[in-house]
Structure 1
């Protein structure tokens, strides 16, 4: 908490278990700052929807994607992004799985990779309906129930991922990114070239890049818990040849080195690293 004029409120919840295949989690955010807050977003393997409940001011940071003006949606991203937020931000963040994004938006995810699109551009009238009911809800638990209600109706009726792509995704996540692309192709019955082409089209990034991002987030998990591992142990556990390789991926995918991540306690800076550890600030 900064000055009396500043405040931050976050609360997270898992979706209804019926939505587990499609949605990772919900995060409610209500923040106000009289000074700009630099908000970094790590490279992530999951599409993210930000549903604004009030108009928000998000300013582009050089080198990053321009956020959509209202309720931005981003696909998978393979590089750190950033924007400056000022004033009040009251929104609900929905972290989807690729299967969920394919079902909800009805299109391959390559069109969303490394970009930001307004939710209304993807869902049309459904986006207005959702935002209106979330705004009218009286509490955050009620807003989470609104999301459960509509997403459980829309997603099961949407198109699935190709089964080979879905299988490859599951194998990669189960192996924490430590799987060779050739072995992955053999297991789903495709050539390596065909797997790369179809995976990139349907998911938005190549299997190799997705594996790097999975390993990065595994490393973040290992050092952000109550008993953090040593960096040399983290590098070995996540499949890095040595700590310098780990450092390079941190800089490329997170925008800072491992030591800086743990010192990231400036009140005017935050890093979003995903639902399980949403903001490091």
Structure 2
């Protein structure tokens, strides 16, 4: 069992309805691969659509209720109904809708962790939302049933630990050169040049781009832009910073450059994002 003193419970209500979340750290063997476990139960007075901005994580949802989710960048897929899915690295926002209730567990995997735990090159799910049952080795129905039948969140997270530790032991490891480049991109919040990454590996920029895209789903230049954007989103909560200061601190040439990238990854301007954020994440769409 996951110790109950490691669980963090948050509850809030608003004009939209109520949300309860329960978070916990994963097993220590999974710590480099998974940011967190997050259980959630959201109930709203009416159907709700939220836009989720692009992140530097691979999101896995193990859902206990049906929702509709899709990526506007992936024209092959519309708002199909699902309960459990994986969203690869995205160069833009994704849309999530539910009819008044959504509940389940969210796993935020690092891209390197997703490569190992999902057991496939992430280029296969980049800019896509894929049903969990369509991934090799995932029996989504049995997983959902087992988690729903568990007596509490501590037992659910403990079961996930066992499942994912086994997948960690069986999964592939990324090339060390790709792992090193990812670490450098994260440490610099996307401000390191691709040429410097190529020098670090001894590869050509072309070869680096191919290996990076195969493993993580997007080319290093796009990943760098994504990490700069995520850093900028974090800075938005500082009321003492001006837009120009946020743009400069996040590594943008100027505020116009900042606004263009923000619109690409969020689908709106920074001001619109701040003005429409929703409880539980995302913003009104």
Partner of 1:58: 68
Deviation at 1:260, TM superposition (A): 1.7
CA separation of 1:6 and 1:271: change in aligned 2, threshold 3 A:
closer
Partner of 2:41: 30
Deviation at 1:140, TM superposition (A): 2.1
CA separation of 1:170 and 1:139: change in aligned 2, threshold 3 A:
same
1:109 aligns with 2:119: no
* TM-score, length of structure 2 as denominator length: 0.86
Deviation at 1:112, TM superposition (A): 0.4
Partner of 1:275: none
Partner of 2:24: 13
Structure-1 separation of matches of 2:241 and 2:155: 38
Partner of 1:276: none
1:155 equivalent among 168, 187, 194? 168
8 A Cα contact 2:69 2:129, kept in partner: no
Q: 25-34 or 213-222, which moves further after superposition? A: 25-34
8 A Cα contact 1:42 1:271, kept in partner: no
Gaps of 5+ in 1: 273-278
8 A Cα contact 1:34 1:86, kept in partner: no
Partner of 1:45: 56
2:253 equivalent among 241, 245, 254? 241
8 A Cα contact 2:88 2:126, kept in partner: yes
Gaps of 5+ in 2: 1-12
8 A Cα contact 2:54 2:89, kept in partner: yes
* TM-score, length of structure 1 as denominator length: 0.87
1:213 aligns with 2:226: yes
Deviation at 1:221, TM superposition (A): 1.0
Structure-2 separation of matches of 1:203 and 1:159: 13
4+ residue stretches of structure 1 with deviation over 6 A?
A: 61-64
Matched residue count: 270
